[in-house]
Amino acid sequence: MKTDMLSNLSPVSGTLLIVVVFALAVGAFAAPIAWGSTAGPDGSVMVVSVDTTLTEATADEIKADLREARADPEIGAVVLQLNSPGGTVPASEGLFFAVERTAEEMPVMANVQSMAASGGYYMVAPADEIFVKPGSMVGSIGVRATFIDAGQTQNEIITGPDKNSGYTEAELRQQIESMQQSFITSVTTHRSDELTISESELANAKVYAGAESVNNGLADSIGDSEVAISAAADQAGYRSYEIENRSHSPAGLGGIVLESETDDSTVTVETPTFLALYGTIDVPTADNTSSVNETATADGGEADA
């Protein structure tokens, strides 16, 4: 009976039947391949949350995360989620170079939660885009110097007359001004196309609200972490992706002690500590009150002895 039905088909009908059967066969063969190609994500976005001051210890941890991102072929973008007033100059400079190196290999976005000030901004300056909230605090492009007065060790042997002579205030001011210029140059190098303020205005070390920082070019857009992650994934070419979270919590500045001797007309700083840090540092005094005893402070070129 089936044979009779097939024999009664016209040549055109027979051709259509063959085409339909062939199409079904091809679909059945190709379908598993299509399903397999969409089963997993295209890659991963690493989100590094930095909610701390920047010390050598925290910087080493963050740099390790960035090295991991660069080494892992599954990670195609990084988002730096920041809430930091900065920290020591060596830590901030080291993170600047680590972020710059990472941005040369993959998209790097920065999302300022509450603050990216001083060394915190230094760190994210090389990012491809910086997203801020309207009320975020951004800027403070400046350096301050404080010191640990360790005193001199008796009966020590030194190799030269300047080995343990410390710094005068003038020498310290020269050093921090050199560091500040490096800071400004790093920012203008990476933000030159966006900045609408001059180097001299940057040198004032002002902190700007997020919305204002977008207007003056220190930031790119208003947006939260979700916007920054989506932008990073888009630049990486991901339609679907996983998120790998890394987190760095609050830490102190390593037990910095500030002492000042102001009896002499010339102030000598024995052991300077250079900070790219926004805000003040409270130190308990003998009467259990808090004060800031700094031999020299620089924030935008101003210094007080």
Domains and CATH numbers, the chain: 43-248 (3.90.226.10)
Alpha helices in 104-217 (DSSP H): 119-124, 169-191, 199-202, 210-216
DSSP state of 265: S
Provide mean pLDDT across the span 99-126. Answer: 95
- Round to whole Å and give the CA distance between 62 and 155: 41
Provide mean pLDDT across the span 134-159. Answer: 72
* pTM score: 0.70
In the beta sheet, which residues pair with residue 273?
146
User: Would the pLDDT of 212 be above 60?
Assistant: yes
- Give the residue from 275, 109, 252, 273 showing the smallest Cα distance to 183: 275
- Give the residue from 46, 54, 201 showing the smallest Cα distance to 115: 54
**For the chain, percent of residues with pLDDT exceeding 90:** 48
- Round to whole Å and give the CA distance between 211 and 56: 31
Phi, psi of 7 (to 5 degrees): -70, -25
User: What's the pLDDT score for residue 217?
Assistant: 95
Q: Is 179 helix (H, G, I), strand (E, B) or coil?
A: helix
Higher pLDDT, residue 65 or 145: 65
User: What's the pLDDT score for residue 54?
Assistant: 92
Higher pLDDT, residue 213 or 299: 213
User: What's the pLDDT score for residue 181?
Assistant: 87
User: Would the pLDDT of 19 be above 70?
Assistant: no
pLDDT band at 241 (very low <50, low <70, confident <90, very high): very high
What CA–CA distances, in Å, run from 91 to 73, 94, 187?
A: 27, 5, 16
